[in-house]
């Protein structure tokens, strides 16, 4: 497994991407953490010397402590990066052009060799509090999916629902009867994971296709949404997100 101890290529890549944004280094870890918190909370008044004009905000989390420690270690020698770290999650602020934000986050994720969820959002310095809020919501949605790097466009429908609590509440009520039945919930999740392919979903569940079809009909009866309809399947997917999107373990920024 690749670790940060042999991640020289990551350091080279970070330097290449960030070279147009070279800044006076912030050597002190506590100062870097404090600066990150100030920028992410929106309390920055633009007077801090030696800071970039824009950043990629990478919100990250993991189910254990070690992967998060790897993120901090990977960025320890990059004095342009600001990190606000917690036990199971944190934020990394990386100065970069907007077009490089996703590539930079993926490079970091690929070199960690660990199960980490990351959400990336870019903004000018004055708008970093908004970028943080966006990254948080994207991370909440992504945490129910495979580990990796996510951006807003990957979860747009789910994001829109989470930002409208009354809609999320209505969808949550709709999907609750399915969530209460483990076999139906597993069937729906498998069907979603296979993009509506009934044969593949039945194989995943190790059941006959007719059994899956029966469970999908029960889901339609309980929710009023027919899973084999692409539009209804999207509604069911978003309803599951609204029901189960967790709070992610990120440190406070204020």
Say yes or no: 172 and 148 in one domain.
Answer: no
Task: Tell me what the mean pLDDT of segment 179-194 comes to.
Answer: 95
Say yes or no: 38 and 103 in one domain.
Answer: yes
Question: Tens digits of per-residue pLDDT, 164-185?
Answer: 999 999 999 999 999 999 999 9
- Domain's final residue, options 154, 178, 205: 154
Query: Total structural domains in the chain?
Result: 2
Q: Is the pLDDT of residue 21 over 50?
A: no
Say yes or no: 134 and 173 in one domain.
Answer: no
pLDDT of the residue at 25: 46
User: pLDDT band at 15, cuts 50/70/90?
Assistant: low
- Decide if 50 is inside a domain: yes
CATH of the domain at 57: 3.30.70
Query: Which among 42, 204, 197, 66 is positioned nearest to 131, based on CA atoms?
Result: 42
* Torsion angle (degrees, nearest 10) of CA 168, 171, 172, 173: 130
* Residue 22 CB neighbour total at 10 angstroms: 11
Say yes or no: 22 and 123 in one domain.
Answer: yes
- Decide if 89 is inside a domain: yes
pLDDT of the residue at 19: 47
- Domain's final residue, options 154, 183, 215: 154
pTM of full prediction above 0.85: no
User: Could you tell me if 59 and 128 are in contact, meaning their C-beta atoms sit under 8 angstroms apart?
Assistant: no
CATH of the domain at 183: 1.10.10.2840
Which alpha helices (H) appear in the chain, and where do they start and end? 8-18, 29-41, 65-74, 101-112, 128-142, 156-162, 165-179, 182-193, 198-205, 209-223, 230-244
Q: Is the pLDDT of residue 96 over 80?
A: yes
Say yes or no: 65 and 174 in one domain.
Answer: no
Say yes or no: 55 and 137 in one domain.
Answer: yes
* Residue 101 structural domain: 4-154
- Decide if 62 is inside a domain: yes
Say yes or no: 119 and 24 in one domain.
Answer: yes
- Domain's final residue, options 121, 154, 187: 154
- Decide if 184 is inside a domain: yes
Residue 218's alpha-carbon distances to 166, 187, 197, 234, in angstroms, are: 26, 11, 17, 17
Question: Tens digits of per-residue pLDDT, 36-68?
Answer: 999 999 887 666 667 888 999 999 999 888 888
């Amino acid at each position: 497994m690749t670790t940060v101890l042999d991640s020289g290529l990551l350091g080279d890549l970070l330097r290449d991407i960030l070279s147009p944004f070279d800044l006076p280094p912030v050597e002190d870890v506590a100062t870097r953490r404090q600066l990150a918190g100030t920028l992410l909370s929106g309390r920055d008044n633009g007077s801090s010397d030696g800071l970039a004009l824009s950043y990629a905000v990478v919100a990250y989390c993991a189910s254990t402590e070690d992967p998060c420690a790897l993120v901090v270690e990977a960025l320890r020698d990059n004095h342009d990066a600001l990190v606000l770290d917690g036990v199971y999650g944190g934020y990394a602020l990386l100065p970069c052009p907007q077009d490089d934000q996703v590539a930079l986050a993926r490079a970091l994720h690929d070199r960690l060799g660990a199960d980490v969820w990351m959400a990336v959002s870019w903004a000018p310095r004055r708008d970093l509090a908004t970028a943080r809020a966006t990254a948080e919501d994207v991370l909440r949605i992504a945490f129910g999916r495979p580990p990796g790097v996510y951006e807003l466009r990957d979860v747009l429908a789910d994001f829109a629902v989470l930002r409208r609590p009354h809609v999320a509440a209505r969808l949550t009520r709709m999907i609750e009867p399915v969530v209460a039945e483990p076999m139906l919930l597993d069937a729906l999740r498998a069907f979603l994971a296979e993009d509506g392919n009934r044969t593949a979903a039945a194989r995943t569940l190790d059941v006959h296709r007719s059994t899956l079809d029966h469970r999908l009909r029960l889901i339609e009866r309980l929710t009023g949404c027919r899973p084999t309809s692409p539009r209804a399947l999207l509604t069911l997917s978003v309803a599951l997100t609204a029901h189960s999107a967790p709070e992610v373990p990120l440190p406070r920024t204020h």
